[in-house]
Amino acid sequence: MEIAGPQDGSGFQGISAIGRDSLGHFFVADRDGLHMTGSNGKYIRRIAPPGRGPGEVLWVTGLVGVVGGGVWAVDYANRRYSFFNGEGRFMVSRPRQLSPLFVPWPGGSFGDGFIDFDREPVANGMRPIAIKADSTWLPRVRLPLPMDPDTHVPFAPALVFRSGSDAIWFGTSEHYRLLRVTMNGDTTETVTGFRDPQPITAAERDTAYVRWRSRVGEIASGGARGSAPMRFGSLPRRKPYFHGLVPLTDGGLGVLPIVAAEDQDRVMDLFGGTGRFRGPVRLPYEVMRHVAVVATREGLVAAMMDANGEEHVYVVRFVPEPRFD
């Protein structure tokens, strides 16, 4: 099923987040604001225009559907959470003190509250922490996550939340390694392996070096282009193992791996709730990797791009239906 965009035929442009509430409404954030559709995918209306005023959104990186209907919009640019009820009406905003940008946003609903993520300084750099908040949207738990503080892009970890549980799935993409961590800091499941690393081509290394050098030079010179100290040999020679994790409603986990070019962004590895590998599935189009995939009982809700470069939001059912532990 496709989630319909605005009825003027313009479709969605620059999708940044998707979500679904307990009443079945779908929500899509793009550069034109925040949109709402019915459970059948038919477009209802735009519920928030772009902007900085009350009831407006500027750069939504995450959408958290709630029980009883409605959605919290994680507005990175406005540094706030904004709540819209099950009728699409703006109700309230709360300040968001967190500063780092995670794309796609890795948080989600958690009981009567939510999970969000931040970083805190440690001796050798920064480490990510999970923050659990209750329905008043005040942080209640700060959980340091198990990772090397020196791990950095392109081997940044993916941090995700598993609905209906007291734990989150955490993955380090420098290795194909998945951990299930409770809010008490205990690791209960560990998954490793399953994929071979993909090499970075010479052309990709050249492009990355030129872009990095140009960007750092601009910053160092206050906006003007300049030189940037960097050793070419410090660039990685292989790609991360995956670029996204998708917690499934029955406790399983989907992993979006880095694979050969012909299959990239069209394959998902499936795991059961105990970490048992259930096999890969193919997706109909390329997943837009900067937009978090949302799992529902009806299937995966994903932003995808077709061969013409047009953006769509689909609800994708598994065929055949996978079995989980």
Place of tokens 């030129």: 210
What digits encode the pLDDT tens for the residues 239-281? 888 888 887 777 778 888 888 888 888 888 888 777 788 888 8
Place of tokens 């292989």: 238
Please check the confidence at residue 43 and state whether its pLDDT lies above 50. yes
Tokens of residue 130, six digits? 């999970």
Distance (Å, whole) CA 281 – CA 272:
14
Please check the confidence at residue 55 and state whether its pLDDT lies above 70. yes
What digits encode the pLDDT tens for the residues 109-134? 766 567 777 766 767 666 666 666 65
- Boundaries of every domain in the chain: 1-96+284-317
Distance (Å, whole) CA 241 – CA 283:
18
Q: Is residue 184 within 8 Å of residue 268, measured between CB atoms? A: no
What pLDDT sits at residue 321? 44
Phi, psi of 298, rounded to the nearest 5 degrees = -85, -20
Residues in the chain: 325
Phi, psi of 217, rounded to the nearest 5 degrees = -60, -40
Phi, psi of 66, rounded to the nearest 5 degrees = -125, 160
Report pTM.
0.77
Q: Is residue 292 within 8 Å of residue 280, measured between CB atoms? A: no
What pLDDT sits at residue 34? 97
Between 72 and 233, residue with greater pLDDT: 72
Distance (Å, whole) CA 296 – CA 193:
27
What digits encode the pLDDT tens for the residues 145-160? 555 443 333 333 344 4
Q: With 0-12 CB in 10 A as exposed, 13-18 as middle and 19+ as buried, what is 2?
A: exposed
Q: With 0-12 CB in 10 A as exposed, 13-18 as middle and 19+ as buried, what is 322?
A: middle
Classify 125 as helix, strand or coil.
strand
Classify 184 as helix, strand or coil.
coil
Mean pLDDT of 294-304: 82
**CATH class for the domain made up of 1-96+284-317:** mainly beta
Least confident of 36-45, 61-70, 128-137: 128-137
Average pLDDT, the chain: 75
Least confident of 11-20, 30-39, 47-56, 311-320: 311-320
